[in-house]
Structure formats: C-alpha cells, structure tokens
Chain A
Amino acid sequence: MPNTDTNTKDDSMDEIRLLFETECNDGLDVIESGLLALEAGDDNLDTVNDIFRGAHSIKGGAATFGYTDIADFTHVMETLLDKVRSETFQVSPPLVKVFLESVDCLRAMVEAMDSGDFDKEKTERVKAELSGWLEGAAEESQEAERQGSAEVDSATVSGAQRWQIDFVPESSFLLSGNQPQHIFRALSELGQVTLNPDCSKIPGDTRFDPKAMYLSWSIELEADVSKEQILEEFDWVESECKVEISELPCSNHPVPVNKEDRRAPANSGDRRKMDRRSGKKDAGSIRVDIDKIDIVLNLVGEMVINQSMLSQFNSVNGDSAAAGSSAELDQRLSLLERTTRELQEAVMKIRMLPVSTTFNRYPRLVYDLGSKLDKKVELEITGETTELDKTVLEKIGDPLLHLIRNSLDHGIESPEDRLKAGKSEIGTIHLSASHEGGSVVIRVADDGGGLNTQKIRKKAIQNGVISKEDTLTDQQINDLIFQPGFSTADIVTDVSGRGVGMDVVRNNIEEIGGRVEVHSEAGKGSTFQITLPLTLAILDGQLVKVGDQVYVIPLLSIVETVQVEEDKINMISGNEIVYRLRGEVIPVADMRKLYRVSGADALESFENKQLVIVDTERRSIGLVVDALLDQHQVVIKSLETNYMKIPGMLGATILGDGNVSLIVDVTTLAEPAVKTPEGQVVH
C-alpha cells in the first residue's frame, strides 16, 4: 500500500512514542520493585541506584518528547532519590509510600500521555509532598551543620550538581581593579557557595605589599549549572587568575542519619559510582512484536501439517513405489519430522516468559492492602523464573490477584489474633511457581486461619447450594467456595467479599485450560493450587468420530473411555440420559445432538458406541461418540481471527490430512441442561 510521506513520519513517531511508553512502564516497574525491596529492608546500594536510574531515564525520555508534566514530576522525584542515593537521607516507610504514590501518578500520566487526562490534583499533591520531603532534607542537613558535624552549607538547592572551583588570582589581580567579591556574588546567584580561603601565602614580614593579591580560594558551588556557565563568571578576570573547575560527587558530607552500616566500606558514602549488580542484565535481547512471532508459529504449524501429510502419503503409497527409494524417503522424512518438531518447540519457547513478569505486580498489592487492612503480611515469592506462555501469563494475572487479595483479607488474621493463636505477628503469603509433569503449578499459600468449613456449609445451605441432609467431606465443602455467589466474609469490604469471587477465578482459569484446587487446614492456613498448561498453542487431543465429523477432545480432561453397555443406560423423564458406571451415575450428552452433526440422525441405539468420560470439575459427563480415533498433539487455531468465538468450542485445528477439526471446550459442557437427578447437587 503506498504510504505518503507524512504518514511514514507519523508512523515512526508513533512507534517511537510507543517505545517510550514501554520504556516508561519498564522503568516504573523497576522503581516499584526496588522501592518494595527497600521497604522490606533491602539495603543494597544497587537497589537505590536502580530506582534512581529508572527515574532518570524516564525524565530524559519525557523531556525529549516534550512531556513536560512527566519530566517535571520525575525531576522532583529524581532529586529526592538522589538525596537517598547520596545517603543524606534515610529510607523510611513514609518515604517509600510517597515514592510509591508518585509511581502511581507517573503511571497515570504515561497512560494518558496524549490525552493529558490524568488526576492532576493527586499529581500536584504528591509532587508537593515530594517537595516537602526535599525541604525536610535541606533542614535536616542544615541541622547537621549546626551540630558541627561538617562544613555543610549545601542542600538548600537540593540535588543539584556540586562543583569544586579552585580560584587562584595572580598577585597583580587587584591592580586592574578586579574585586573577587564580585565574582563570589555572581557565583552565589547560581547556587550555594562555600568559600574556603587560603591565606597561607600572606607574607608575615616586611615583604607584604598592600596592592598585591596573596589570597586564593577553594570554592564549593552547589548549583544546577554547566561548567561553561561557571567559567563565564570568570570571563573578566580570565587572564589574571587560574581557575580550575571539577565536578564533585553529589555530596560526601557525613550525614545526620545513622546509616553507617549501610555504607560500603572504602566508599565515602557515594553510590553514584557503584556499578550495577552483575548478572541482572538481560544481555542481547530484542523486542519483537508478538504478532510477528505468531506468524512464524503459524507457518511452522503449517509446515508440521505438511510434513505429516507427506509421511502419511508415503506410508500409504510406499508399497507401490520402488522399494529402495521408499526406504530412503522414509529416512529423509523422519529426519524432516525431527527438525520440524524441534523448530516448532523452539518457536514456542519464544512466546514463553518467566512468571516474574506477572508476579512482580503483587508485592505492591500486598503492601497496599496490608496497610489498608492493618495486617502485617510478608509476600514470599519462589520459582519466579518458571516460564509460561505469554497468553497464559496475561490471563492468570487477575485470578492470582484475586486469590492473593482473598488470602490477605480472609486468610491472614489480624496481628492480635495471630499472637493469640501463638503465631508470629507477621503473616506470610507464599506465591510459588514450579514445573510439575507437563504443567506449571502456581500456588498461593497463606499461614492464616484456613477456611471455615462450618461457615461455608451454613452458607451453602442458606444459598440452597446443598441441602441440610447432604453429608459432605471437609474437602467437598471447601470446594463449594468455587460456586457462584459465594462469599463468607463477615463484613463486605472493598477489598473482597462482594459475592463475586472464586467462581470467577475458577472460570478464568478453566478458560485457559487450567484447574484450581483448594486445600485448607483449620488454624494453619489454606493453599490454592492452580495447574496450568505450558502453552495455549498446542494441546494433546483425542480425536473422535461423530457422524462424518471428527472432533478433538482435550486429553487432559478425559477421565476414561468405555464401550457403552446398553443395559447401563437409563432415561430420566424421557429425555435425560444417564449412565451407571461403577455405582456412579453420570449424565450423558449425545455429541451429534449437541453439535447437530450432519450425516447422522439422532441417536437411536447405543450399540457399538463409545462413551468418553470427561471431567469438568463441576461434574463428570459422558460424551457419546461413534468411534475413538488417534491421539494427536494438535495446534490450536483461533476461530476469532476470521470468524468469531463459537460457544462450546475451544478453537479449531488442522489435521494431518489438511481437514479442519473443531476442538471441544469441555468446560462449557457442564452448563447444558444435563442435570443430575438431584437437580443442583454437584458432588
């Protein structure tokens, strides 16, 4: 498509702006996690440096693109951070809080970059708060000076650069009418000036010449100016003096706060020169648009299909062909198969990201909520390097958030209760990720009070989910929290407990092919365990034949398959079919009826039919199919790309023969009108 010049420019501008936005968000993430680490007592100098660097690059970028709001805001933040960095300032919880709020403001500003539609009031407030801290910083250091700890006279112009000026006038300096005090005055207009005169050259004897200049000065200037600007002040006297200007580290005064322990030895409290922690660098990575990866993935999938078609063709026609060439072809084909598999796996890996990209959101959440609820909670994260498909990761964010919020609100008790129960005052939420079998397991475990089984039971009876007569094990009762409209919070808070909750969590997780379970022990805490597929792009499937159609049922959800024995079938009220399997009654769904499969009339006889029992968490369902075919790893193709989401279907796939087959979404099967005889009872 021909693009006009202006368009190209706009496009590249947009691209750069997008890049800036991404960079800002990355920077903010670094700042946030750094701040939380500080809050947690991390006193690594590098952490502060990381935060500072993050703020600095945002400021730079914002200034370049003319987002003055962001630049101004970050400048104040940076100045204050610099104080922290140079250790004139100790990190305290209130300070971290202000910084975190500024991160929020910046996020809002970055998001509303073009519209300018952000909460200006809040931004101003936080900015003022930051400035307030800065002034406080100044006072503090002045106080330090008063206490005689050093010749501090800086810090009123906070965070500015510090210059060391060695000013040595010639002895003839005064003869030409120059007066050093003029220069000093001019300098003090630039910033804070500290004069250290050197009087050592004054002759104490008769050689003293009243017209000669014996003095020299060592001047410290704290001002946000360039070297050139300082030199300008000496322009008039250039030929009659020696001026040497050097940049000083931000501040190397001893500080009024007791942070000697935090200081690296042999480093006079200056963190600026500290190098970034080695090993944390993500060396040699590039940003690639996810769409581009998907195109490659698509092509590779197509290649896998073509390859398997070739193999099939060969095995069918192999006999008729000359035996020798067929054997060689076989060999080549298996080689090709291996390469394509490897290629497919390699491309899949590109889409994988460490779970830390999602986990990193939560320390902040725990921090905020903990202070809001007056609970002391520590979030432990392990296994954050475990990798998951990007799409899975994106979709797991909200359910996890909900679970953590839940643990904080309902799980962890108040500090008083915890002490009474003989536990440590500080509660722990342990967020972990690990590989188990072919899946990734994420756990959210708290050491709180555990689920209140009695309360859940009462509530379930009240809501009509179960009846009074039902006898359920504790585990079964605990599982009830995943039922819609279930919340046992005594008080409905704005944190959680509005009745929507765990069922949404379960739905979201099931949507991406995962499962969630809860284990709880009264008084010791509860654990939510989420089992997720490694990727959404590939699935192990059982191919089944219904009429003239082939469907794919995800292998993970299949419990077992049985040959239908007709005498085990019962018709309930004429149209609901159930199957008795080892004493259990399983509702049966006829796939040809469900999907209106052409080339097949409604089911008349169950003779020679197969029953595929699938587990949908809510219940087991038997699917009647004509025949079981192969088991295959299939590439899931979205139906939404060119069409739209089809209820009851996970997607489609292309089979080895090039035909398209639909993948059954087992989770939606639990919703049709196949009911257990008891109506609503689930377990």
Chain B
Amino acid sequence: MAENTNDCEELNQYLTFVLDDEEYGVPILTVRGIQGWEKTTPIPNSPDYIRGIINLRGEIVPIVDLRRRFNLEEVPYGPHTVVIVVRVGQGEKQRTVGLVVDAVADVHDINSEDIRSTPDFGEKINNEFVRGLGLIDEKLVIILEIDQLIDWRKVPVDNQVESVAQSSNESAVVEQAETEAA
C-alpha cells in the first residue's frame, strides 16, 4: 500500500478539474470514480464543508464541498457539477471521500520537475491543501494535497451548532472552532 503514492508520482498523470475558474489536479491513481451530484444526507455537528454522506455501492462516503473548503464563493450546483470520488490517506487509514467540484477538465501528464513549490496564497486558499503548482505550456494547475482536505484528528463540529452530545473531544472542538474563526 505504501507504494501507492510512489506509483502515482512515477505515473505523473493528474486528473484536473475546475473550481472558480482555476484548474486543480489530483493524482489519477487516487481517483476511484466520477459521478453526478446527488442529494446527500447531512451530518449533524459537522463542519459546513462536509455536505453530508452518500451511499456509494453500499459504502457510506462523506462528500466535501471544495468551494466551501477553500472558502470560495458559493455557486448553485449545475449540470456540470460533479463529485470526484478519491481515495485518501495511506495504508490502513485509507478512506474514500467525494469532492464536489464545478466541472471535470482533463487528464494531464505533468513531470515532477515541472511542479513548483507553493507560493503563499494569503488567505484565499490555505497552503496546506496544495502540494505544488504544475506547469503545462502556459497553463497552471494547482496540485492538491488531498490527504489534508478533512482533518481527521479533530471531531468536526459546526461551531454554530450547539454541541449536543458532550463528547470528550470538547477541547478539540474548541480548537477547531478557533482555527475556523481565525
């Protein structure tokens, strides 16, 4: 399993998609499928970027709205809105997650030498989600660090929602709320 990422890097192929007029890429071997947007079941007490859960061939899979995750302006879901199902994490901690994006773009070969390190984005997009910037001719593709999209260590709690069940993770909750407020 550990070679998974290595293989991806060797293959250098990326599935790209559009989000707010920018092109983003994920390693193609992490992609398990692409499907249209369907209604989700919302999860109580979760961050707002988690749209909910869906049934993916008998598995319960959480759906992440990337616009919300990157604090981009929200747009209504249209006919091009798709969910890219990816496998994140390594080894036994692998999880399947769906990403809501504006539209699927292309598949590109990007050599590792063509991937630049990340400049500081300021507040628009958090740096930790970006692995690097890929250059294809004159076009720029933002390569995502998909493992970082959901912070698994923290129990996600929408800070606007009253915490109902008093979990032992309250400190983590507060921390999360503070990070989000910042």
Judged by a CB distance under 8 angstroms, whether A536 is at the interface is no
Judged by a CB distance under 8 angstroms, whether A285 is at the interface is no
A577 to chain B, nearest CB (A): 15
CA distance A301 to B59 in the complex (A): 10
B43 to chain A, nearest CB (A): 6
Judged by a CB distance under 8 angstroms, whether A672 is at the interface is yes
Interface segment, A162-170, A380-388, A456-464, A641-649? A641-649
Interface mask (B151-168 → A, CB under 8 Å = 1, otherwise 0): 010011010011111110
CA distance A593 to B44 in the complex (A): 10
Judged by a CB distance under 8 angstroms, whether B72 is at the interface is no
Judged by a CB distance under 8 angstroms, whether B132 is at the interface is no
Judged by a CB distance under 8 angstroms, whether B7 is at the interface is yes
B164 x A648 contact (CB < 8 A)? yes
Which residue of B58, B97, B155, B166 has the most chain A CB atoms within 10 A of its CB atom? B58
- A596-B158, A637-B59 known; A671 and B166 CB under 8 Å? yes
B124 cross-chain contacts in A, Cβ below 8 A: none
Contact of A649 among B44, B59, B161 (CB under 8 A): B44
B59 x A647 contact (CB < 8 A)? no
Interface mask (A581-599 → B, CB under 8 Å = 1, otherwise 0): 0000000000001111110
- Smallest CB gap from B44: residue in A: A595
Q: Which parts of B106-164 form the interface with A (CB within 8 Å)? A: 150, 152, 155-156, 158, 161-164
B157 to chain A, nearest CB (A): 8
- A1-B3, A1-B7, A652-B53 known; A646 and B58 CB under 8 Å? no
B43 cross-chain contacts in A, Cβ below 8 A: 639, 643, 646, 649, 662
- A305-B58, A641-B60, A658-B55 known; A596 and B95 CB under 8 Å? no
A643 x B62 contact (CB < 8 A)? yes
- Smallest CB gap from B54: residue in A: A660
Judged by a CB distance under 8 angstroms, whether B41 is at the interface is yes
- A659-B55, A672-B165 known; A646 and B44 CB under 8 Å? yes
A660 x B53 contact (CB < 8 A)? yes
B60 x A299 contact (CB < 8 A)? no
B97 x A642 contact (CB < 8 A)? yes
Q: Which parts of B62-98 form the interface with A (CB within 8 Å)? A: 62, 95-97
B166 x A654 contact (CB < 8 A)? no
CA distance A243 to B43 in the complex (A): 85
- A654-B58, A668-B165 known; A660 and B155 CB under 8 Å? no
Contact of B44 among A2, A299, A648 (CB under 8 A): A648
B156 x A642 contact (CB < 8 A)? no
A474 to chain B, nearest CB (A): 31
CA distance A613 to B7 in the complex (A): 55
Judged by a CB distance under 8 angstroms, whether A252 is at the interface is no
Judged by a CB distance under 8 angstroms, whether A302 is at the interface is yes
A659 cross-chain contacts in B, Cβ below 8 A: 39, 41, 55
Contact of A648 among B52, B53, B152, B165 (CB under 8 A): B165
A596 x B59 contact (CB < 8 A)? no
- A549-B41, A596-B161, A659-B41 known; A646 and B59 CB under 8 Å? no
A185 to chain B, nearest CB (A): 62
B54 cross-chain contacts in A, Cβ below 8 A: 660
A298 x B41 contact (CB < 8 A)? no
A642 cross-chain contacts in B, Cβ below 8 A: 59-62, 95-97
A595 cross-chain contacts in B, Cβ below 8 A: 44-45, 164
Interface mask (B163-176 → A, CB under 8 Å = 1, otherwise 0): 11111000000000
- Smallest CB gap from A654: residue in B: B55
- A596-B44, A647-B155 known; A660 and B60 CB under 8 Å? yes
Judged by a CB distance under 8 angstroms, whether A638 is at the interface is yes
A598 to chain B, nearest CB (A): 6
CA distance A299 to B58 in the complex (A): 7
Interface size on A, residues (CB 8 A): 37
B166 cross-chain contacts in A, Cβ below 8 A: 671-672
B36 cross-chain contacts in A, Cβ below 8 A: none
CA distance A449 to B161 in the complex (A): 49
Judged by a CB distance under 8 angstroms, whether A661 is at the interface is yes
Contact of B165 among A2, A643, A652, A671 (CB under 8 A): A671
- Smallest CB gap from A304: residue in B: B58
CA distance A150 to B28 in the complex (A): 82
Q: Which parts of A622-668 form the interface with B (CB within 8 Å)? A: 637-639, 641-649, 652, 654, 658-662, 665, 668
CA distance A91 to B45 in the complex (A): 62
A639 x B4 contact (CB < 8 A)? no
B4 x A1 contact (CB < 8 A)? yes
- A1-B3, A671-B166 known; A549 and B42 CB under 8 Å? yes
A654 cross-chain contacts in B, Cβ below 8 A: 55, 58, 60
B3 cross-chain contacts in A, Cβ below 8 A: 1-2
Q: Which parts of B1-47 form the interface with A (CB within 8 Å)? A: 1, 3-4, 7, 39-46
CA distance A639 to B45 in the complex (A): 14
CA distance A174 to B7 in the complex (A): 80
Interface mask (A566-609 → B, CB under 8 Å = 1, otherwise 0): 00000000000000000000000000011111100000000000
- Smallest CB gap from A661: residue in B: B41
Which residue of A593, A595, A646, A647 has the most chain B CB atoms within 10 A of its CB atom? A647
B156 cross-chain contacts in A, Cβ below 8 A: 644
B116 to chain A, nearest CB (A): 29
A643 x B55 contact (CB < 8 A)? no
- Smallest CB gap from B167: residue in A: A647
A652 x B41 contact (CB < 8 A)? yes
CA distance A647 to B165 in the complex (A): 6
Contact of B95 among A598, A643, A671 (CB under 8 A): A643
A302 x B42 contact (CB < 8 A)? no
B58 x A660 contact (CB < 8 A)? no
B61 cross-chain contacts in A, Cβ below 8 A: 642-643
B1 cross-chain contacts in A, Cβ below 8 A: 1
Besides A549-B42, A647-B167, 20 other A-B contacts (C-beta < 8 A): A1-B4, A298-B58, A299-B58, A302-B57, A549-B41, A638-B60, A639-B53, A643-B43, A644-B156, A647-B165, A648-B45, A648-B165, A652-B41, A652-B53, A654-B55, A654-B58, A660-B41, A662-B43, A668-B165, A671-B166
24 A-B residue pairings within 8 Å (CB atoms): A1-B4, A1-B7, A549-B41, A598-B42, A637-B59, A642-B61, A642-B97, A643-B53, A643-B60, A643-B95, A644-B152, A647-B45, A647-B163, A647-B167, A648-B45, A648-B164, A648-B165, A652-B53, A654-B60, A658-B55, A660-B41, A662-B41, A672-B164, A672-B166
- Which A-B residue pairs are the 4 nearest by beta carbons? A302-B58, A647-B165, A595-B44, A648-B165
- B residues near A (Cβ < 8 Å) are 1, 3-4, 7, 39-46, 50, 52-55, 57-62, 95-97, 150, 152, 155-156, 158, 161-167
